[in-house]
Amino acid sequence: MQQTAIQEITAADTLDALQLVKTKYVGKSGLVTKELGTLGKLPPEERKTRGAEINVIRAAIQAALDEKEATLKRAALDAKLQSEAIDVTLPGLGLPSGGLHPISRVYDDLIAIFTRMGYEVAEGPEVEEEHYNFEALNIPWYHPARELQDTFWLEDGRLLRTHTSNMQIRYMVEHDPDLKMVSRGKVYRYEATDATHEAMFHQLEGLVVGDGISMADLKGTIAEMARGLYGAGAKVRFQPSYYPFVEPGADFAIYWNNPRGESKWLELGGCGMVHPNVFKAVDDLREQAGKPRLYEGKTGFAFGLGPERIAMLKYGIPDIRYFYANDPRVMGQFRGEL
Ligand code: FA5
């Protein structure tokens, strides 16, 4: 019996099959158990030797069962591990990646430069009241400068801001001097588009107010910005210009070499010393809001520039309209890299 049992145990190739063999021999009514049950019928002198024999057989069968069970369990575990194994050598699936819009990249560069110089960053509304976009900036309704910035008017008498200079007023009404502030955002003009003009574009506004601020501070700041953008050798140029909210006023340009070896003057924006009428308008608004008049008698400078112009040269984009045409062939080139 021991031999056939061991043969059957060896032949069992699954845990279920082994269980059947186990029941057959050492289960409650298994063959070995039954054999033990017959002991009582034997004469006492045979009973002892026969009992010892059967116990040896049972122990051998049990040992073989245990060993086989362990082997089968190990094999089952190995098979499971094998089937669930992750092959780390397989090439991964590429994840789709987005990218920052070139205008966002230019803004990030500019904001980093100005925050390094201690400027606060402010955000303001694109839908604006006429007073903040024009009057308070020394541009009354009859002023010819209004025609320089053709305006999208809303039915409720408000407008889409034509420049970020509205933030000069809003920021000064909210904050006491002295201050250094930059503000980014979209602006809108009702004008025909061409390769360098869009009806919606972006500006970065800067404002500094304090005592004894001069044109030299303004020029130094623009030069520092140019060096931050284009390195130590960047040159800046100022030309007299007219904006009602500054006196004197200027346009500024930066001379730079782009990666394709072109070098040129880039007309970037307008700037100047804050006009006294602007400080007066701010103090009027502050007074209406129950705040002290702190601006008249102060000095300051302001500037406003177009990041599209920087991005066009930096990335070799020949037409401003590409930025907003949602053409994946253009914007796809900016995927992933920072
Ligand atoms: C202004 O908007 C003034 N607010 C700038 C300023 C601020 C002057 C503070 C003095 C003190 P201007 O209209 O020139 O100025 O526009 C400034 C810059 O915006 C331009 O130099 C140009 O870079 C950009 N820009 C103007 N119009 C467009 C347009 N249609 N499309 C794209 N960029 C434009």
Mean of pLDDT values over 95-113: 91
Residue 240: pLDDT over 60: yes
Q: Is the C-beta atom of 134 inside 6 A of ligand 1?
A: no
Mean of pLDDT values over 249-259: 87
| Centre of ligand 1 from the C-alpha of residue 87, in Å | 57
pLDDT at 336: 64
Residue 19: pLDDT over 60: yes
In the chain, what percentage of residues exceed pLDDT 90? Answer: 55
| Residue 138 pLDDT grade (very low, low, confident, very high; cuts 50, 70, 90) | very high
Q: Is the C-beta atom of 221 inside 6 A of ligand 1?
A: no
Q: Is the C-beta atom of 243 inside 6 A of ligand 1?
A: yes
Mean of pLDDT values over 283-308: 98
Residue 338: pLDDT over 70: no
Residue 21: pLDDT over 90: no
Measured by CA distance, the residue closest to atom 7 of ligand 1 is: 304
Do the Cβ atoms of 272 and 243 come closer than 8 Å?
yes
Mean of pLDDT values over 30-46: 82
Higher pLDDT among residues 264 and 169, named by residue: 169
Mean of pLDDT values over 235-253: 97
Which atom from ligand 1 is nearest to the alpha carbon of 149? Answer: 13
Which atom from ligand 1 is nearest to the alpha carbon of 162? Answer: 2
Do the Cβ atoms of 275 and 243 come closer than 8 Å?
no
Pocket perturbation via mutation, ligand 1, pick of 103, 168, 203 by most ligand atoms within 8 A of CB: 203
pLDDT at 86: 83
Q: Is the C-beta atom of 269 inside 6 A of ligand 1?
A: yes
pLDDT at 113: 98
Q: Is the C-beta atom of 300 inside 6 A of ligand 1?
A: no
Do the Cβ atoms of 249 and 242 come closer than 8 Å?
yes
Mean of pLDDT values over 187-203: 95
pLDDT in tens, 45-58: 888 888 888 888 88
| Centre of ligand 1 from the C-alpha of residue 205, in Å | 10
Least confident of 40-54, 64-78, 131-145: 40-54
| Residue 233 pLDDT grade (very low, low, confident, very high; cuts 50, 70, 90) | confident
| Centre of ligand 1 from the C-alpha of residue 204, in Å | 9
Which atom from ligand 1 is nearest to the alpha carbon of 148? Answer: 13
Q: Is the C-beta atom of 271 inside 6 A of ligand 1?
A: yes
Do the Cβ atoms of 229 and 329 come closer than 8 Å?
no
| Residue 36 pLDDT grade (very low, low, confident, very high; cuts 50, 70, 90) | confident
Report the phi/psi class of residue 157: left, alpha or beta, with left for phi > 0 and alpha for psi in -120 to 50. left
* Mean pLDDT score of the chain: 91
* CA neighbours closer than 13 Å in the CB half-sphere of residue 76: 10
| Residue 250 pLDDT grade (very low, low, confident, very high; cuts 50, 70, 90) | very high
φ/ψ (deg, to 5) at 118? 90, 15
Within 10 Å of residue 305's Cβ, how many Cβ atoms? Answer: 25
Q: What is the DSSP string of 275-297?
A: PHHHHHHHHHHHHHTT-----TT
Least confident of 10-24, 175-189, 194-208, 243-257: 10-24
pLDDT at 148: 66
